[in-house]
């Protein structure tokens, strides 16, 4: 789960409202007295993530407007401690730790509020590193740091060695991620980075031939058109779209970082919470195939919709857009048996749907395997369905 939460959440016009609507800070800062989230905001957020099957949450500890959800100590007083008298990052971390969810910290690299960003960039970088040092030392063990905004000044020397070295010093096991933005999806970067990003794009397999270490990948996605809460954004994707995005990410060995923008009180819109809930129902059916299995390298003939993962022992066939048993007067997707064909050099013992343990018919002949994928029964339609292939 990705969480964009800040002063902009009170305004309800998206996370870039300050910049794109040209709101002067003397007006924007009037939101500070209104930003005092519900006491249980973090617990409810974590509960939603856990129900959805999420293993970690990445929270915007400071976004581009420069307002921090954590105690910035001696740096400035542009934070929630000076505002509502609360360290919201502490509340978030405590809620995550209580439920076994790993906390990650998003932190902006660009800053519209800090004058040093435009007047003295080297001094700004010291300010930035001190901000990261605070996050690395005041909240216990974290999963990682997720940076965003280097694309604002690609040609500048961001002194990445010093920035990432600060994290390695205090949080040696933390993942370091630096979002490459919309135009550089999947681009490799500094040697200390542990994951590439695919912002709202289709992930792909990473070529690591020249990399001295394994590099993960992650696609961040939004439910509508804004990362932060936008009250008038009704352009929502369907839960089926989100399930397909999650399946597509797993197809390429990538994580899905599914965003939500809490309202100003820290609570989620009902549609956001409900969509996470539906995604969680899907994960509950197929979790055996979701978390550990990786791309198998098996080429399947019906590759536009279907693919196979493996955990090293078993194989998992993902099938999209299956029909279901229905009267043709009721549904246009009436029953039919579909077949998936692929080359496979192992002898299969059984093939079963994970959601109901139904055994599927298969044939192995001349190096080709054919699996007959049966339709959904009436009353069930799971978007993407997974069959477990057990080999002898």
Reported as a single tens digit per residue, the pLDDT across 242-256 is 999 999 999 999 999
Contact between 8 and 14 under an 8 Å Cβ cutoff? The reply is yes
Average pLDDT of 59-64?
98
User: Which structure tokens are listed for 299?
Assistant: 């080429």
Give φ, ψ of 351 to 5 degrees.
-135, 125
103-112, 197-206, 368-377: lowest mean pLDDT where? 197-206
pLDDT tens-digit readout, 176-202: 999 986 566 667 789 999 999 998 778
What would the 3-class secondary structure string for 241-281 be? HHHHHHHHHHHCCCEEEEEECCCCCCCCCHHHHHHHHHHHH
Q: 72, 131 in Cβ contact below 8 A?
A: yes
**Tokens read off for 98:** 């209580």
Report the run of H or E that residue 207 belongs to, with start and end: none
pLDDT for the residue 333: 61
Which residue matches tokens 């999209």?
A: 320
Q: Which CATH architecture has domain 294-391?
A: Sandwich (2.60)
Query: What's 2-290's CATH class?
Result: alpha beta
For the chain, which residues make up each domain, given as ranges? 2-290, 294-391
Q: Is the pLDDT of residue 110 over 90?
A: yes
**For residue 327, pLDDT beyond 80:** no
pLDDT at 13: 98
- Look up the pTM and report it: 0.95
pLDDT at 164 over 70: yes
Q: In what order do the strands lie in the sheet with 307-310?
A: 294-295, 307-310, 315-320, 384-391, 348-353
The answer to whether residue 206 scores a pLDDT higher than 70 is yes
Of all helices (H) and strands (E), which one includes residue 141?
Answer: none
Q: How many CB atoms lie within 10 A of CB 278?
A: 16
Q: What is the pLDDT of residue 384?
A: 98
* Average pLDDT of span 366-391: 95
Mean pLDDT score, 340-361: 97
Q: What is the residue-wise DSSP string for 55-79? A: SEEEEEEE-TT--BSS--TTS-S-B
pLDDT tens, residue by residue, 281-302: 999 999 999 999 999 999 999 8
Q: Give the mean model confidence (pLDDT) for residues 147-157.
A: 94
Q: Which two tokens stand for residue 390?
A: 């057990």
In this prediction, residue 187 carries a pLDDT of 77
Instruction: Look at residue 336 in the predicted model and tell me its pLDDT.
Output: 64
Per-residue pLDDT tens over the stretch 89-104: 999 999 999 999 999 9
Contacts of 366 (CB under 8 A, 6+ apart): none
pLDDT over 80 (residue 328): no
Mean of pLDDT values over 359-383 = 94
């Amino acid at each position: 789960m990705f969480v964009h939460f800040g002063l902009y959440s009170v305004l309800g016009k998206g996370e870039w409202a300050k910049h794109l609507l040209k709101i002067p800070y003397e007006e924007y800062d009037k939101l500070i007295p209104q930003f005092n989230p519900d006491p249980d905001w973090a617990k409810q957020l974590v509960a939603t993530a856990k129900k959805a099957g999420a293993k970690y949450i990445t929270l915007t500890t400071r976004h581009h407007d420069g307002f921090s959800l954590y105690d910035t100590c001696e740096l400035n007083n542009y934070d929630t401690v000076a505002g509502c008298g609360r360290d919201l990052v502490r509340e978030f971390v405590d809620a995550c730790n209580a439920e076994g969810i790993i906390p990650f910290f998003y932190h902006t690299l660009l800053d519209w509020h800090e004058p040093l960003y435009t007047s003295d960039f080297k001094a700004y970088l010291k300010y930035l590193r001190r901000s990261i040092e605070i996050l690395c030392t005041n909240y216990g063990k974290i999963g990682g740091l997720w940076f965003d905004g280097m694309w604002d000044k690609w040609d500048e020397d961001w002194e990445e060695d010093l920035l990432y070295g600060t994290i390695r010093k205090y949080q040696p096991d933390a993942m370091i991620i630096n979002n490459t933005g919309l135009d550089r999806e999947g681009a490799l970067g500094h040697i200390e980075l542990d994951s590439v990003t695919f912002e709202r794009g289709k992930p792909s397999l990473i070529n690591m031939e020249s990399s001295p270490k394994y590099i993960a990948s992650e696609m961040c996605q939004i439910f509508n058109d804004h990362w932060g809460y936008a009250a008038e954004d009704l352009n929502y994707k369907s839960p089926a779209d989100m399930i397909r995005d999650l399946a597509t990410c797993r197809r390429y060995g990538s994580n899905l970082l599914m965003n939500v923008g809490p309202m100003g009180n820290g609570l989620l819109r009902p549609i956001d919470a409900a969509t996470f809930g539906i995604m969680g129902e899907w994960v509950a059916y197929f979790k055996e195939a979701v978390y550990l299995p990786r791309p198998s390298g098996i080429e399947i003939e019906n590759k536009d919709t279907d693919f196979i993962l493996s955990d090293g022992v078993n194989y998992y066939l993902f099938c999209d857009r299956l029909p279901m048993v229905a009267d043709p007067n009721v549904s246009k997707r009436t029953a039919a048996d579909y077949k998936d064909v692929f080359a496979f050099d192992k002898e299969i013992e059984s093939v079963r749907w994970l959601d109901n343990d139904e055994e599927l018919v298969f044939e192995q002949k001349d190096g080709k395997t054919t699996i007959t994928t049966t339709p959904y029964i009436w009353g069930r339609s799971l978007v993407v369905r997974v069959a477990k292939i057990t080999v002898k």
